[in-house]
Amino acid sequence: LWAFCTNRFRGDWQTNANIIEGQWNGTLMTAFDTLWFELATQQATEGEYSSVFAHCKSPLPRMIITPGGFLAGLKRLDEGQFANWGYHRVTFETNEFNKNWHVTAADEKLAYAFVSQKMMEFLMDHQTDKWHMELSEGGLLISTVFTLKPPKIEKAMDFINGFLQHVDEDLLETRS
C-alpha cells in the first residue's frame, strides 16, 4: 500500500491493526485500521484511522478523487496531498461535478477516459458520502481521518463496489 499517497505523511511511524480480508459482493477487499505515531515533537502524539482497499487486477490509473469543499480540503492538507508531485488537477465540463469533486491524476488523458459520464453521475449521486479515494496499480483505497465502526466499513465497501461497476468495461481489462 506504500504506492498510495493517501495518509503517507501522517506521523513518523505507522502500523496496521484489525485487518480483515475477504470477498465483498464479488470483490476482494481488505479493511484495516492504521495507528500512527508522531515522535519528533516535545510530546509524542498518536492517532488512528481506518481504510478499505479493493484489490483490482486491472491497471487502474494513478488518480485521487476527493470531495470538494473546505473540510475535504483540510483532509487533503492533513494528508500532505497538496504536495503530490506528478499529479495534476483534472477538471471536467460539468461545473457542478468540479465543485463537488476534486480529481488529480498522474496522467490527465487516462483520467478523462476513466471518469466517464456514468462515473460522474454515480459520484454525484453519492456526494454526501464524502469518501476520499485513491486509485493505483493494484486497486482502490478509501482512507479516513478517523476510525470507522463495522457498519461504516460495510458502507465504504458497498460504495467501492458501486464505483467499480461504473468503470467502463474496456478499462478493466487486465494486461496480458
The partner residues of 28 in beta bridges, in order of sequence, read: 23
**pLDDT above 70: residue 9:** no
Q: In the chain, how many H helices and how many E strands?
A: 5, 8
Q: Which amino acid is at 83?
A: A
State percent of the chain over pLDDT 70: 81
Task: Give pLDDT, residue 175.
Answer: 46
Q: How far apart (Å, rounded) are the C-alpha atoms in residues 160 and 166?
A: 10
**Rounded Cα gap, residues 134 and 6, in angstroms:** 7
For residue 105, give the 3-state DSSP assignment.
strand
* 108: confidence class by pLDDT, cuts 50, 70, 90: very high
Report residue 176's pLDDT band, with 50, 70 and 90 as the boundaries: very low
Task: Indicate the DSSP class of residue 172.
Answer: G
Over residues 37-78, the pLDDT tens digits come to 888 777 778 888 899 999 998 888 999 998 887 665 565 555
pLDDT at 142: 92
Give pLDDT, residue 60.
87
Q: Is the predicted pLDDT of residue 156 greater than 80, yes or no?
A: yes
Q: What is the pLDDT of residues 114-153, one digit of tens each?
A: 999 999 999 999 988 889 899 988 899 998 888 999 999 9
Q: Please enumerate in sequence order all residues whose Cβ is within 8 A of that of 76, keeping only pairs 6 or more positions apart, or say none.
A: 66, 82, 102, 132
